[in-house]
């Protein structure tokens, strides 16, 4: 198979990046990529450990002159967010990612790219493979299920690692080095469904919302982009005030850590009310343009008669509970940091709405750099769904990574960046979650930092990464490693 990226520099970094775009690695489906990493380590005569969670650790001694240098942990995650447009035919469990080179960017055709965190894997493999790069002893730690609650990092046995310097390669802006991040938890709320027989005289209609940008539910939650699940709830509630209808089903979003871009609902309506329904929908393009014209200019709501076979509708009581949840569930930015202006302190993202046989499910990602605010959001969700006769389960809880005033590795990153690029890097905290908080708890006294090349629109089909930035940050990493003696 021809390599599309074969002429890009650094060659071995882009070779491995393209290699892993051909291997399934959606969260929860990482066996093949994990085994690939194990095979790589063995092929290069390196010590390899693969644990029950499919995490992979690969160890490499320091090069000449660095044998007694402190061990450095290079860390990234092997899973990716598998998002695609509904009109894109792609099977993430077997199809390679359709990569495209467009000027300075690597993009895809209607799917996520997986540069988050595939670039980290490519950097690490290229570094472990080469014999002519000076570096201290290395421990590569590649974790699983980061995108769905950092399950791999949580399961990892910290006693397997000697290093107390950890470089996380999961940052998306060149020139920024991260020193702190939020913690988080997932919330799965359920409301029981009650069904009734659908009247024979009714017709089915399909409402579908398309064209929202979406984005990372941590890194881009502050941009005010539309949430397809909440917008569909608003539209359905508005219609209910204009014309009677029965709700059959609703679904939206596919990942709790991605702002949902699309939502679908099916409703049943009497023949005599069909024109009223169409008129009520006709008002919404103007409303969406007024509210989201500058943020989400491509958002559209469509309605069409459906040929879907259906025997049941949801009871009026169930419909009201669903609409109440969608109109009142906390979502978006909740608080901003006072200590760090511009930093989101706490937020929620209703990423998934789906229906099972007996329940409708609402899955949210909660994030906060302050533990008590995370607890407050958990209480809000719990009380809301308790009032609606539902229940909530919380899972994949991970800690915040707290800022440390003294950090030798941060000082090295700052020094090297200034020497290479003649300007100071920005030291920042982010609202998105990183595995650094987990490693800070597992490895006593560890000194952590996070960096990475420029990439945009991660967790969406518009994800793209800068080729030149990947090259610059590669040389930056190598220069940092040479400083650690």
What is the chain's pLDDT, residue by residue, as a tens digit (485 residues)?
Answer: 789 999 999 999 999 999 999 999 999 999 999 999 999 999 999 999 999 999 999 999 999 999 999 999 999 999 999 999 988 999 999 999 999 999 999 999 999 999 999 999 999 999 999 999 999 999 999 999 999 889 999 999 999 999 999 999 999 999 999 999 999 999 999 999 999 988 777 889 999 999 999 999 998 999 999 999 999 999 999 999 999 999 999 999 988 999 999 999 999 999 899 999 999 999 999 999 999 999 999 999 999 998 877 889 999 999 999 999 999 999 999 999 988 889 999 999 999 999 999 999 999 999 999 999 999 999 999 999 999 999 999 999 999 999 999 999 999 999 999 999 999 999 999 998 899 999 999 999 999 999 999 999 999 999 999 999 999 999 999 999 999 99
Count of C-beta atoms within a 10 Å radius of residue 339? 9
Q: Which residues of 88-107 are buried (b: 16+ CB within 10 A; e: fewer)?
A: eebebeeeebebeeeeebbb
Position 363 scores a pLDDT of 98
Co-location of 213 and 332 in the same domain: yes
Same domain for 71 and 19? yes
User: Do 384 and 427 share a structural domain?
Assistant: no
Catalytic residues: 79, 146
Residues 214 and 97 in one domain: no
Boundary-marking domain end, from 380, 398, 416: 398
How many structural domains is the chain composed of? 2
Name every residue whose Cβ is closer than 8 Å to that of residue 208 and which is 6 or more positions away in sequence: 262, 263, 264, 265, 301, 302, 303
CATH number of the domain that 178 lies in?
Answer: 3.40.630.10
Q: Are residues 173 and 312 in the same domain?
A: no
Q: Do the domain assignments include residue 3?
A: no
| 406, 377: one domain | no
Shared-domain flag, residues 287 and 422: no
Which pair of structure tokens corresponds to residue 107? 């993009």
Give the residue from 398, 416, 445 where a domain finishes.
398
- The answer to whether the beta carbons of residues 176 and 434 sit under 8 Å apart is no
Same domain, 134 and 243: no
* 50 and 154, same domain (yes or no): yes
Residue 2 lies in a domain: no
**Of the candidates 475, 448, 485, 484, which has an alpha carbon nearest to the alpha carbon of residue 179?**
448
Q: What is the residue range of 382's domain?
A: 185-398
Whether residue 272 is found in the same domain as residue 178: no
Q: Is residue 391 part of a domain?
A: yes
Boundary-marking domain end, from 359, 376, 398: 398
CB 265 within 8 A of CB 239: no
DSSP string, 188-220: EEEEE--EEEPPTTEEEEEEEEE----EETTTT
Has residue 1 been placed in a domain?
no
């Amino acid at each position: 198979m021809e390599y599309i990226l074969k002429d890009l520099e650094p060659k071995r970094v882009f070779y491995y990046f393209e290699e892993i775009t051909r291997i399934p690695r959606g969260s929860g489906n990482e066996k093949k990529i994990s085994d690939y990493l194990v095979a790589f380590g063995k092929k290069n005569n390196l010590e390899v450990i693969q644990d029950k969670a499919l995490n992979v650790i690969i160890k490499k001694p320091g090069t000449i002159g660095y044998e007694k240098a402190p061990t450095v942990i290079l860390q990234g995650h092997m899973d990716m967010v598998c998002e695609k447009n509904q009109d894109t035919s792609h099977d993430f469990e077997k199809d390679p990612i359709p990569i495209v080179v467009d000027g300075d960017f690597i993009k895809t055709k209607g799917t996520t790219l997986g540069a988050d965190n595939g670039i980290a894997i490519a950097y690490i493999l290229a570094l472990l493979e080469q014999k002519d790069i000076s570096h201290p002893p290395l421990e590569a730690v590649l974790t699983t299920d980061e995108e769905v609650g950092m399950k791999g990092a949580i399961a990892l046995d910290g006693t397997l690692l000697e290093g107390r310097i950890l470089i996380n390669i999961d940052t998306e802006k060149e020139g920024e080095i991260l020193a702190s991040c939020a913690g988080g938890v997932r919330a799965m709320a359920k409301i029981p469904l009650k069904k009734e027989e659908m009247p024979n005289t009714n017709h089915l209609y399909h409402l579908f919302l398309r064209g929202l940008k979406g984005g990372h539910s941590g890194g881009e939650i502050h941009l005010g982009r539309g949430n397809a699940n909440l917008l569909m709830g608003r539209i359905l509630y508005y219609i209910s005030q204009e014309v009677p209808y029965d709700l059959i089903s609703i679904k939206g979003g596919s990942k709790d850590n991605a702002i949902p871009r699309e939502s679908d609902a099916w409703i049943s309506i009497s023949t005599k009310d069909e024109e009223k329904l169409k008129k009520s929908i006709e008002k919404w393009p103007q409303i969406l343009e007024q509210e989201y014209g500058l943020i989400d200019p491509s958002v559209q709501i469509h309605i069409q008669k459906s040929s879907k076979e259906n025997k049941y509708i949801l009871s009026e009581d169930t419909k009201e509970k669903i609409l109440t949840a969608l109109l009142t569930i906390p979502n978006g930015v909740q608080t901003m940091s006072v200590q760090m202006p511009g930093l989101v302190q706490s937020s929620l993202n209703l990423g998934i709405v789906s229906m099972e046989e007996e329940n409708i499910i609402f899955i949210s990602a909660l994030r906060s750099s302050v533990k008590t605010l995370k607890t407050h959001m958990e209480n809000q969700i719990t009380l809301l769904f308790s009032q609606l006769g539902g229940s909530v389960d919380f899972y994949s809880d991970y800690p915040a990574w707290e800022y440390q005033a003294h950090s030798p590795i941060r000082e090295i990153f700052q020094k090297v960046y200034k020497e290479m690029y003649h300007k100071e890097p920005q030291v920042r905290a982010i609202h998105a979650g990183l595995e650094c908080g987990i490693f800070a708890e597992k490895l006593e006294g560890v000194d952590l930092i996070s960096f990475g090349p420029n990439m945009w629109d991660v967790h969406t089909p518009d994800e793209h990464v800068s080729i030149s930035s990947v090259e610059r940050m590669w040389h930056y990493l190598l220069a940092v490693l040479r400083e650690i003696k």
